[in-house]
Amino acid sequence: MAVRSKSSAAWLNEHVHDPYVQMAQKDGYRARAAYKLLEINDKDRLLKPGTVVADLGSAPGSWSQIAAQLVGAQGRVFALDILPMAPLAGVDFIRGDFREDAVLAEFENLLGGRSLDLVICDMAPNMSGNAVTDQARSFYLAELALDFAAQHLKTGGDFLVKVFQGAGYQEYTAAMKTVFAQVQVRKPKASRNRSSEVYLLGRNKR
């Protein structure tokens, strides 16, 4: 039998006792991340009936679940992840690595020339443990997502993206300001305080 390390035992203990994990199980969401999007959406009203949205880094699917519920039959949800995602009603999903041109082309094909109202990106790389590498990989994904948003959002569209404060944060915020009329920072309660994770919200694409 595998012996758990102290840190993975501590993680498991925290996970099991995490109120958001318990709520997600009760409410039928696939991940505790659901409550981050719900809190941001309560404040910022990003998802409405009819919204056409792309969800980048969607697995296991709690953001897509919420998006599909809120955009309804008039809206569309296009989702992508490098990992598999169990099907969800109202969500068109592609499995692939967003860094690959062929995957991007396939996703663009799925959009079928539609302009998007909203891009949400919760992508995070597998953490190597090397903080410098992890930060750089994370911002690379966020930069690709920003390029995608700049290209596919309609004028006036919105972009929500997970980033980690630290190296590259100021430059990234500055780049977002060239694309969006407003850039705001969101730290929902379900995002752990000890994590440098925040969400940047670009509003009103120029």
Ligand X SMILES: C[S@@+](CC[C@H](N)C(=O)[O-])C[C@H]1O[C@@H](n2cnc3c(N)ncnc32)[C@H](O)[C@@H]1O
Q: Which of residues 88-107 bind ligand X (CB under 6 A)?
A: 97-99
Tell me the CA distances in angstroms from 107 to 6, 112, 188, one per residue in order: 41, 9, 29
Does the footprint of ligand X cover residue 20 (CB under 6 A)? Answer: no
**Quick check: 123 binds ligand X (CB under 6 A)?**
yes
Q: Are 36 and 191 in contact (CB under 8 A)?
A: yes
User: According to the binding rule CB under 6 A, does residue 54 interact with ligand X?
Assistant: no
Burial of 91 (0-12, 13-18, 19+ CB in 10 A): buried
User: Hunting for tokens 């969006």 — which residue is that?
Assistant: 180
Residue whose beta carbon is closest to ligand X: 57
Q: Is 30 in the site for ligand X (CB under 6 A)?
A: yes
Tokens coding 156? 């006036």
Q: Pick from 125, 166, 187, 203 the residue near ligand X by CB under 6 A.
A: 125
Active-site residue identified among 36, 43, 162, 205: 162
Q: Which stretch binds ligand X (CB under 6 A): 10-18, 104-112, 118-126, 171-179?
A: 118-126
Rounded CA-CA distance 53/69 in Å is 12
Sign of the alpha-carbon dihedral angle for 189, 191, 197, 199:
negative
Q: Is 158 exposed, middle or buried (0-12, 13-18, 19+ CB in 10 A)?
A: buried
Q: Which of 20, 47, 54, 57 is in the footprint of ligand X by CB under 6 A?
A: 57
**41 touching ligand X, by CB under 6 A:** no
Strand partners for 202: 159, 183
Q: Which is nearer to ligand X, 98 or 148 (CB)?
A: 98
Phi–psi pair at 102, nearest 5 degrees: -65, -35
Is residue 199 a contact point for ligand X (CB under 6 A)? no
Does residue 122 belong to the site contacting ligand X (CB under 6 A)?
yes
Cβ of residue 70: shortest distance to ligand X, in angstroms? 14
At closest approach, how far in Å is the CB of 48 from ligand X? 19
Under the binding rule (CB under 6 A), the answer on residue 81 touching ligand X is yes
* Catalytic residue positions, numbered: 162
Residues that bind ligand X (CB under 6 A): 30-31, 33-34, 57-63, 80-83, 97-99, 122-125, 141
